[in-house]
């Protein structure tokens, strides 16, 4: 049985309101859940992103060098070159 869930993360900083991440979490009975099929939306384009728990290099997102997601405490943060840490919070959840 497959139960998809949708979560939208939005930055806590008003200056970056154009950036957000939409995550499709897929849970398979007996296999656990994965959130690796996320999408990052910004004023510069849309990019695939792995939104599983933990920190990683986001890969294709220009100038972003790190993103961390903490699903247990529905939050995260990310870093762009030359900018301070910016925070994410979960704003929506659906099925």
What per-residue confidence (pLDDT) applies to 27? 87
- Answer whether 41's CB lies under 8 Å from 21's CB: yes
The pLDDT tens digits for 8-30 are: 555 544 454 568 899 988 888 88
Which 3-state string (H, E, C) describes 17-86? CCCEEEEEEEEECCCEEEEEEEEEEECCEEEEECCCCEEECCCCCCCEEEEEEECCCCEEEEEECCCCCE
What per-residue confidence (pLDDT) applies to 59? 87
Confidence of residue 91 (pLDDT cuts 50, 70, 90): confident
The pLDDT tens digits for 30-74 are: 888 888 889 999 888 999 999 999 999 998 899 999 999 999 999
As given in the structure block, the two tokens for residue 53 are 């728990």
Token look-up 């943060």 returns 77
What per-residue confidence (pLDDT) applies to 13? 47
pTM above 0.85, yes or no: no
């Amino acid at each position: 049985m497959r139960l998809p869930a949708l979560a939208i993360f939005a930055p806590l900083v008003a200056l970056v309101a154009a950036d957000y991440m939409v995550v499709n979490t897929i849970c398979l009975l007996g296999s656990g859940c994965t959130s690796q099929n996320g999408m990052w939306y910004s004023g510069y384009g849309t990019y695939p992103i792995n939104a599983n728990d933990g920190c990683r290099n986001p890969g294709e997102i220009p100038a972003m060098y790190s993103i961390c997601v903490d699903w247990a405490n529905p939050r995260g943060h990310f870093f762009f070159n030359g900018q301070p840490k910016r925070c994410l919070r979960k704003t929506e959840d659906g099925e």
